Amino acid sequence: MTTSLLNNPFFSSFLHILFLLLHIFNSSSFFALAEHTSSTTSLSGNNNTEAKALLQWKASLDNQSQSVLSSWVGISPCINWIGITCGNSGSVTNLTLESFGLRGTLDDFNFSTFRNLFVLDLANNSLSGTIPHEIGKLRNLALLNLYVNQLSGSIPREIGLLESLNELNLASNVLTGRIPYSIGKLRNLSFLALSTNELSGPIPSSIGNLTNLSELYLWDNKLSGPIPSSIGNLTSLFLLYVWGNKLSGSIPQEIMLLESLNYLDLSSNILTGRIPYSIGKLKKLSFLGLSYNQLSGPIPSSIRNLTSISELYLGHNKLSSPIPQEIGLLESLYHLALSGNKFHGPLPSEMNNLTHLKVLVLDTNEFTGHLLADLCHGGVLKIFTASHNYFSGSIPESLKNCTGLHRLRLDWNQLTGNISEVFGVYPRLRYIDLSYNNFYGELSSKWGDCRNMTSLKISNNNVSGEIPPELGKATQLQVIDVSSNQLKGAIPKDLGGLKLLYKLLLNNNNLSGAIPLDIKMLSNLQFLNLASNNLSGLIPKQLCECSNLLLLNLSGNKFRESIPGEIGFLLSLRDLDLSCNFLTREIPRQLGQLQRLETLNVSHNMLSGRIPSTFKDMLSLTTVDISSNKLQGPIPDIKAFHNASFEALRDNMGICGNASGLKPCILPRSSKTVKRKSNKLVVLIVLPLLGSLLLVLVVIGALFILCKRARKRIAEPENEQDRNIFTILGHDGKKLYENIVEATEEFNSNYCIGEGGYGTVYKAVMPAEQVVAVKKLHRSQTEKLSDFKAFEKEVCVLANIRHRNIVKMYGFCSHAKHSFLVYEFIERGSLRKIISSEEQAIELDWMKRLNVVKGVGGALSYLHHSCSPPIIHRDITSNNILLDMEYEAHVSDFGTARLLMPDSSNWTSFAGTFGYTAPELAYTMKVTEKCDVYSFGVVTMEVMTGRHPGDLISALLSPGSSSSSSMPPIAQHTLLKDVLDHRISLPKKEAAEGVVHMMKIALACLQPNPQSRPTMEKISFELTTKWPPLPKAFSTISLGDLFS
């Protein structure tokens, strides 16, 4: 039967078919297996290539960065590698390392390896170098974010090859050059940010090709030329920020085609012409910024169509004509700024409809008429400034009841009314200026209820009555100016409780009585003007406790007896006026200690005797007036007296010297004759004795010389010329020495730019027009340099220090006549000088201040951790930090810096400046890096508060205050915003985050225990990483919150 089946043709066919099917099945399985194996091999190879590329880039970063990327090990980046995301194919698609503190470059990043990369986010790091051209190989990239790094060079044109890009953010770097024309190829872009760089040239017209763009940030660059008309093609644009450039020409009409715009900011450019009437087409605008340009003409009436607008900034242009009544239709408006223009006429009554206004800025125009009757009808007004106009009439009732006011400026108008009746109580008020008006009446005790007020200015009015003692309850006051009124009575002693007060101006009134001794409690006081009153009694010697005084004016009063010598302890004093009093006796010699004094007036008193010889040290003095006294003898041999006019020296008992109208000082002839006769008698008696004595001395001298020569043969010879050191890098030292002496005219005081404990600083312009700063050391310092060779070696080390935030030391010259250090010249001068100047301090905005602190931190980190051996500065103060024209900080004065050698015993001498030195120096005298850290904390707080924070530090860091459980009341109840520099507006957004972060760091630096303070390396890292977001609203953050 089996044989018959095999011979059966049907069965035979069945077997053939069966074998054929089995063969097909096996073949397909084989090919499938082969294909799978091939795919797996390819995928593994791709992973290996990407892993090698990432590890190669990691190896190029600094050690700290490599530590952060410690999970990057092995050959599988898709498995637990931090910041890496892979797609289904197993290839890297997302590389996100935002805010990881990475330091390095992109030079070793192999872009060509990552063909499937979709997201590259390296924002908020410290990457430097250029953006490589190879970045154009990331053809699938949809998001490129390099925001907040230190990338430099130009934007490569290959960026235009990334045609899949949806978001491109290169903001907050130091990129230069032009925006590449090829950027117009990125037609899928919806977000483009190139702001806060140093880009120049025009905005390329190709930008009009980016028709999908919704947000465009080009602000804070150096872009120039007109705004291209092609910008009108960006009809999807929601936000356009190009402020802070050098764009010129008129506002293009094509911008009015961007009907989707919500935010338009063209401020701080050089735009001219009129505001286009067609601006009314931008009906969705909620923010319009055109301030700080050169726009002219009226505000167009078409502005009525901007019914969604909430913020309108037109300040500081050349706009004119009255305000159109149509502005009253913008009922959503809460911020209106029109200052610094030529607007005139009365305010339209329709502006009373703007009940949502929080900020109204009208100052520096030519407005007339009355203030708006319903100015604060909505009850939300916080800031109202209308100074420097011609407003008249009384204060509207709505303003009296405007309890939410924070800032009010009505100075320089023609307003009138009883000041005790037309103003109310403003519990949130921080700043008020009513100066130069016609207000009358008495100062109300209610001003003392404004507990947050930092500045009260009511000068040049007709205010009468007494200064209310209740004013002492406004403990946040920093400025009181009620000068040029008709105030009478005594100065209340309660003002002594105003610990933060730095300016007290009570001059030109009818105040009487003595200066209260409580004034000594005003340790922050810098300006005290009590001139032109009827004050009497003695000048209190306790004034010397106001050690920060820059100006003291007590002229035009009835003070009697002597000038207290303690005034000589006011070492910061710049201006001293004691004229027109009844002062007697001699001028105290202690006044010669006022080496920073620039103006001195003691005229119209009854001072007698000679001018103290100590006045020869007052080299900063430029103006002097000693007229109408009973002074006699020679005038000091300094420039101020030599250049003084005869009127400033006249009407004295017999002063003489080299000055206009004075007789030369010559000894009487009779005394010369007597002296000559007595000299002859002495010669006759002494001559024989001298002969004998001379013979003895010759013998002794010969023996001494022989002994000395014998010693000299044994000892190593020392050439006197060896003490003439000329260590100037890259220069002929001797020649440079001669050039400097010539450039400063033998260190003439005309070239003096500063004075320190170790020497005097001069400005020297060299023959090649190079400007240098020369610190001529006091002779007492050069005499201490016993080992000149060691010192020369040390100077060479210091001269080789190179850091962008450290003043370059070019070298040292030591000569028998002069010894000096040569430094780089920094244009703006010291941080202290800038902070002390009202005008310059306003220019130093919050971002500049934060950058100053970052720069100083970076410099100290370099000195402590990058120099071998480490260098301690020992005298970090605001006076030793110089700012260049770009407000970049440079740490200066290595006159006190020494190389820190391990186990050295040479670090036991006290160094530093009082108020900046660490507390442990009072008992250990051991200088360590942590002393610099403490000084850095003081300087940081000084930058933020605008004054030396001595009292604030004492209050915050009293014993036990470092723990939250025993935190002092000042920390718990004082808001941060109330201690910040009031001369600039409160910080916002990023600046606010930076201020809070840096104040926290400052407090950490000020810990009494040195071991609890952070290192400068850690501080520098904290300063350069992304600042943490605010834990709550900035206005509610207390000093206590900074300890957490």
The pLDDT of residue 796 is above 90? no
Contact 197, 218 (CB under 8 A): no
Residues whose CB falls within 8 Å of the CB of residue 724, separated by 6 or more in sequence, listed in order: 814, 815, 816
SS3 371: coil
Q: How many CB atoms lie within 10 A of CB 302?
A: 18
Q: How many CB atoms lie within 10 A of CB 807?
A: 23
Residue 917: DSSP 8-state: S
pLDDT at 724: 43
For 397-408, the pLDDT digits (tens) are 888 888 899 999
Q: How many CB atoms lie within 10 A of CB 4?
A: 8
% of the chain residues with pLDDT over 70: 83
Residues whose CB falls within 8 Å of the CB of residue 792, separated by 6 or more in sequence, listed in order: 725, 727, 812
The pLDDT of residue 710 is above 50? no
Span 926-945, average pLDDT: 92
d(CA 980, CA 1000): 14
At the fourth CATH level, the homologous superfamily of domain 719-825 is Phosphorylase Kinase; domain 1 (3.30.200.20)
Residues of the chain with CATH 3.30.200.20: 719-825
The amino acid at residue 216 is L
pLDDT at 61: 95
- Interior/surface letters 437-469, b for 16+ CB within 10 angstroms, e for the rest: bebbbbbbeebbbbebbbbbbbbbbebbbebbe
Contact 942, 835 (CB under 8 A): yes
Contact 85, 92 (CB under 8 A): yes
- Map 564-626 to HEC letters: CHHHHHCCCCCEEECCCCEEEEECCHHHHHCCCCCEEECCCCEEEEECCHHHHHCCCCCEEEC
Which residue bears the tokens 């014993």?
A: 959
d(CA 277, CA 50): 57
The pLDDT of residue 864 is above 80? yes
pLDDT at 671: 42
Task: Band the pLDDT of 722: cuts 50, 70, 90.
Answer: very low
Active site (annotated) includes residue 220:
no
Span 906-920, average pLDDT: 66
- Token pair recorded at residue 300: 């167009």
The amino acid at residue 639 is K
d(CA 376, CA 395): 12
Q: How many CB atoms lie within 10 A of CB 780?
A: 9
Task: Band the pLDDT of 238: cuts 50, 70, 90.
Answer: very high
Task: Band the pLDDT of 907: cuts 50, 70, 90.
Answer: very low
- Token pair recorded at residue 235: 């009809």
d(CA 228, CA 812): 55
| Least confident among 56-65, 676-685, 951-960 | 676-685
% of the chain residues with pLDDT over 90: 56
Task: Band the pLDDT of 958: cuts 50, 70, 90.
Answer: low
Residue 806: DSSP 8-state: B
For 807-834, the pLDDT digits (tens) are 888 877 877 778 888 888 888 888 998 9
Query: In terms of DSSP H, where are the helices of 916-988?
Result: 929-945, 950-956, 969-973, 976-979
pLDDT at 46: 60
For 490-539, the pLDDT digits (tens) are 999 999 999 999 999 999 999 999 999 999 899 889 999 999 999 999 99
- Token pair recorded at residue 4: 């018959």
Higher pLDDT, 1029 or 722: 1029
Tell me phi and psi for residue 354, to 5 degrees: -85, 70
H or E segment and range at residue 848:
helix 846-865
Task: Band the pLDDT of 885: cuts 50, 70, 90.
Answer: confident
d(CA 580, CA 578): 7
Tell me phi and psi for residue 209, to 5 degrees: -80, -15
The pLDDT of residue 457 is above 60? yes
Q: Quick check: bond before 869 cis, omega within 30? A: yes
The pLDDT of residue 909 is above 60? no
Q: How many CB atoms lie within 10 A of CB 310?
A: 17
Q: Pairing relation of β-strands 215-217 and 239-241?
A: parallel
* Cα three-residue angle 832-836-838, rounded to 5 degrees: 140
Q: How high is the mean pLDDT of the chain?
A: 84
Q: Chain centroid to CA 432: how far? A: 25
pLDDT at 754: 77
- Interior/surface letters 34-65, b for 16+ CB within 10 angstroms, e for the rest: eeeeeeeeeeeebbebbbebbbebbeebeeeb
Q: Could you name the CATH architecture of 370-482+500-506?
A: Alpha-Beta Horseshoe (3.80)
Most confident of 151-165, 386-400, 781-795: 151-165
The amino acid at residue 227 is I
Residues whose CB falls within 8 Å of the CB of residue 691, separated by 6 or more in sequence, listed in order: none
Span 777-796, average pLDDT: 60
Contact 873, 859 (CB under 8 A): no
Task: Band the pLDDT of 302: cuts 50, 70, 90.
Answer: very high
| Least confident among 222-236, 549-563, 893-907 | 893-907
- Map 396-425 to HEC letters: CHHHHCCCCCCEEECCCCEEEEEHHHHCCC
Residue 211: DSSP 8-state: T
d(CA 372, CA 661): 60
- List the one residue out of 790, 803, 799, 791 whose CA is nearest residue 772: 799
Q: Which residues are annotated as a binding site?
A: 776
Strand partners for 462: 440
Task: Band the pLDDT of 31: cuts 50, 70, 90.
Answer: very low
- List the one residue out of 355, 406, 402 whose CA is nearest residue 385: 406
Residues of the chain with CATH 1.10.510.10: 829-1044
pLDDT at 398: 86
- Token pair recorded at residue 86: 């892979």
The pLDDT of residue 899 is above 80? no
pLDDT at 33: 37
Residues whose CB falls within 8 Å of the CB of residue 718, separated by 6 or more in sequence, listed in order: none
d(CA 742, CA 748): 10
d(CA 477, CA 629): 39
Catalytic residue, chosen from 875, 932, 978, 981, is: 875
Higher pLDDT, 771 or 370: 370
Cβ burial of 94 (10 Å; 0-12, 13-18, 19+) is middle
- Classify the phi-psi angles of 970: left when phi > 0, otherwise alpha if psi is within -120 to 50, otherwise beta: alpha
Task: Band the pLDDT of 34: cuts 50, 70, 90.
Answer: very low
Contact 144, 118 (CB under 8 A): no
pLDDT at 705: 54
pLDDT at 48: 82
Residues whose CB falls within 8 Å of the CB of residue 189, separated by 6 or more in sequence, listed in order: 165, 166, 167, 168, 210, 212, 213
Which residue bears the tokens 């309890």?
A: 403
The amino acid at residue 653 is M
- List the one residue out of 830, 845, 856, 887 whose CA is nearest residue 1023: 856
Task: Band the pLDDT of 272: cuts 50, 70, 90.
Answer: very high
Give the CATH fold of the 829-1044 domain.
Transferase(Phosphotransferase); domain 1 (1.10.510)
Span 744-765, average pLDDT: 81
d(CA 973, CA 953): 15
Longest pairwise C-alpha distance within the chain:
172
The pLDDT of residue 355 is above 70? yes
| Least confident among 77-91, 934-948, 962-976 | 962-976
- Token pair recorded at residue 692: 């004998």
d(CA 258, CA 801): 53
Residue 348: DSSP 8-state: P
- List the one residue out of 818, 813, 791 whose CA is nearest residue 727: 813
pLDDT at 645: 87
Span 685-693, average pLDDT: 52
d(CA 799, CA 112): 44
Q: Which residues are annotated as a binding site for ATP?
A: 776
Question: What pTM, to 2 d.p., does this model score?
Answer: 0.63
Contact 152, 129 (CB under 8 A): yes
The pLDDT of residue 932 is above 50? yes
Contact 422, 398 (CB under 8 A): no
Task: Band the pLDDT of 783: cuts 50, 70, 90.
Answer: low
d(CA 672, CA 678): 10
Task: Band the pLDDT of 578: cuts 50, 70, 90.
Answer: very high
